[in-house]
Amino acid sequence: MDTDLLAELVEFDTNSDSKNSYTECSRFIKERAEAAGLHVEMHTACPPDGKPRPNLIIEFDAGAEQTLLLATHYDVVPAGEGWKHEPFKLTIEGKRAYGRGAADDKGGIASALASLQTLRGRGSSKVNVKLLVTCDEEVGGEHGLGFLMQMKEKGRFLVEGDAALLIDAGPHAYVGSSGRISGRINAEGSLQQLLSLISAVVDYSQTREKVVSKLTDTSAKRRIWGRISVTMLDLNAGIVEVAKGECRIRLTENTGLKKFLPKGKFRLQADELVILGRQGHAGYPHMYKNAIENALPLLRKVAELSQEKGKCELVFDLRTIPEESLDSALTAFKRYLKVVDPRAELEVLEGSEGYVLSGRHPLVRMLQRAIGENKAYGMLGATDVQFFSRRGIPSICFGPISDSSNIHGKDEFVRIKDIEFVSDALVKLCENWVSLKTYPCE
């Protein structure tokens, strides 16, 4: 596998917070695709923040009846600290290539482009292919894939396709993924009342875990289940913040908390107490052992020591299973909160629907044959497939991201063999494509 393209892609700091290198990275990809003889169009979204969002359509016309869409993204999450390897320089050690975005999702871009080059050289594809290289996937995708999929010219959608693969997953056939709702809960009252609200939201995770999918998640090694987590809490007697499995309480002189410091996993740094939770997957905070659970005994002491009223802000992350709708999950959560604290106000900040495709769908069967595997899986994280689903385009996820790739975490890496595997599988899929209309029923 030629890793030069991946190395050059990783050197662009295309983090979705600053968006500083979006234009340079997209132009580089465009030039490389055109040099390979592929037709490329760039379409740029211009949102109110004034930062351009370039998106690419890279087209390979095989003269076929049907078109397969491949979707990737070039934006990454910020690198953060604690890396052993330089985040924006590809470092190859053994069979691994380290760098921010090496797995998520610049390795997917490298795999997809390599497959198109092979197909063009052989002239062997039985399906047209459009590779969509987009931005802002890490922050919802509305100005990336969402922008491309809703664009119209002369009353017709700019991007048409019969089926789609999101090249942003592991090297398996992922036929479904969770949906996601995030937002804030604000309340006022005595500290005892606020503590009851906090405890109730934490306890709701037990209710959510009873909602179970038929699909198995490869990273969790079990069926996908419903989840909710509290990621931040602001209390007037101190500030508690959950980040990377930790609960931080900023102590004030009048809280009198220091004599109640819990035994076990905690540390005191100046006026900040850190209570540790269990670190989950770096990219999915809803998989944490919620550190607020460990902090509740100390927060009860806060409530006992203060007779004052206060304000509370909770930030929640609710994940649905693939078969569940966002509306039904949100309605159930609102109903629960209404009983716990009728005065609490809930605000939804972000939502993305999950998806599920029948394991017997021709697209699933053809990909399974291309990768030599009969199983179908689900993903616990929300994905950009929602933009294909809105258009009624059958879609699944596939890609070079292994369960241990540390995506969104320090020392992210991709296995070189997985990039090669994905590229080879895409070639096989296109060379052995059978029309979705005539695919034999089994």
In a domain, 440, yes or no: no
Sequential DSSP letters for 46-115 = --TTS--EEEEEEEE--S-S-EEEEEEE--B----S--SS-TTS-EEETTEEESTTTTTTHHHHHHHHHH
Rg (CA), the chain: 23
CA atoms lying within 13 Å on the CB side of residue 154: 0
Whether residue 439 lies inside any domain: the answer is no
Q: Is residue 413 part of a domain?
A: yes
Same domain, 15 and 145: yes
How many separate domains does the chain show?
Answer: 2
Asked whether residue 214 falls in the same domain as residue 136, the answer is no
Cis peptide, bond prior to residue 105, ω within 30 of zero: yes
For residue 328, the surrounding DSSP H or E stretch is helix 326-340
Q: What CATH number did the domain enclosing 337 receive? A: 3.30.70.360
Q: Are residues 373 and 254 in the same domain?
A: no
Let me know whether 142 and 99 are in one domain: yes
Residue 263 zone, left/alpha/beta (φ > 0; ψ -120 to 50; rest): beta
Report yes or no on 442 lying in a domain.
Answer: no
Helix, strand, coil content of the chain in percent (nearest 5): 30, 30, 40
My answer on whether 165 and 263 are in the same domain is no
Beta carbons within 10 angstroms of residue 414's beta carbon: 34
Q: Is residue 410 part of a domain?
A: yes
Shared domain check, 146 and 164? yes
Same domain, 224 and 347: yes
Say whether pTM exceeds 0.75: yes
Last residue of a domain, one of 289, 320, 352: 352
pLDDT in tens, the chain (442 residues): 679 999 999 999 999 999 999 999 999 999 999 999 999 999 999 999 999 999 999 999 999 999 999 999 999 999 988 999 999 999 999 999 999 999 999 999 999 999 999 999 999 999 999 999 999 999 999 999 999 999 999 999 999 999 999 999 999 999 999 999 989 999 888 777 888 888 898 889 889 989 999 999 988 788 999 988 876 666 654 555 544 445 555 544 444 555 555 555 455 555 555 554 443 433 344 444 555 666 677 667 666 665 666 777 888 889 999 999 999 999 999 999 999 999 999 999 988 899 999 999 999 999 999 999 999 999 988 899 999 999 999 999 999 999 999 999 899 999 999 999 999 999 999 999 999 988 775 5
Contacts of 333-338 with CB under 8 Å at 24 or more apart are 333/204, 333/228, 336/200, 336/204, 336/207, 337/185, 337/200, 337/201
**Bridge partners of 74?**
none
| Pair 267, 410 in one domain | no
Residue 253 token pair:
């002189």
Asked whether residue 412 falls in the same domain as residue 296, the answer is: no
AA letter at 411: D
Among candidate residues 352, 377, 397, the one where a domain is terminated = 352
Domain that holds residue 201: 180-352
